[in-house]
Amino acid sequence: MKLKLNFGRVLFNRSRPRSFAWAIASLLSIGSISAFLPQSLQAQYTPTAARQQNPWQYASFPVENFQAYTSGYGYRSSPVDGSSQFHYGLDLAAPIGSYVRNWWTGQVVELSDNTACGTMIKVQSGDWQHVYCHLMGRVQSDRNTRYLVDREGGIVLQLGQQVPAGARIARVGMSGRTTGPHLHWGLKYANNYLDPALVLQAMFTTEAKL
């Protein structure tokens, strides 16, 4: 019997090996995210009745063709040089060229392709900020506007653009400082970093109760 879970317009099948639901189950021992965290988003983007039922129903899992978590949030040994470092995000392995989906409705506030993050998108959603690194494509400028351009993937994303939850905004690449194709996904709330795994856990737990 197949059980399908729908997170923000992306359908995942529990029976598939290395599926989203299987992977999320490995996060459930981490602990629960504080109840206040989704509230700033709820107030701005969801009706009252929907908020009471499922505060995370409009959130999207951030990558298609997910394979595995390769590096969690917190201190680790660098996969590049072995040095101790703090990892401010969650690494999600996926085949190169897999589409990246916007986690929550918001505005593109930064685009770059000249740091260790590689080709990068930063989206602001109320008090939340979500970052996507190691993408395909390049950042180009036209007069006073910047774009992320990945024509092979059909992606042209403009700085300042409003993007809905679940929209395809980029593709997984190997730009920047990386040893393999994956999405580095970072989250901030009120300008403070938090563990994205806790957010995914909250999404899964709430959906499973409905």
pTM score, two decimals? 0.76
What is the token pair recorded at 191? 């300008």
Please give the average per-residue pLDDT across 137-153, as a whole number.
94
Model confidence over 104-140: pLDDT tens digits? 999 999 999 999 999 999 999 999 999 999 999 999 9
What per-residue string of b and e applies to 174-210 under the rule 16 or more CB within 10 Å gives b?
Answer: bbbbbeebbbbbbbbbeeeebbbbbbbbbbbebbeee
CB 163 within 8 A of CB 108: yes
d(CA 142, CA 23): 41
Model confidence over 18-72: pLDDT tens digits? 344 445 544 544 344 444 344 445 444 443 444 456 677 789 999 999 999 988 8
Chosen CATH of 4-209 out of 1.10.110.30, 3.30.70.250, 1.10.260.40, 2.70.70.10: 2.70.70.10
How far is CA 24 from each of CA 21, 47, 101, rounded to the nearest angstrom? 5, 27, 17
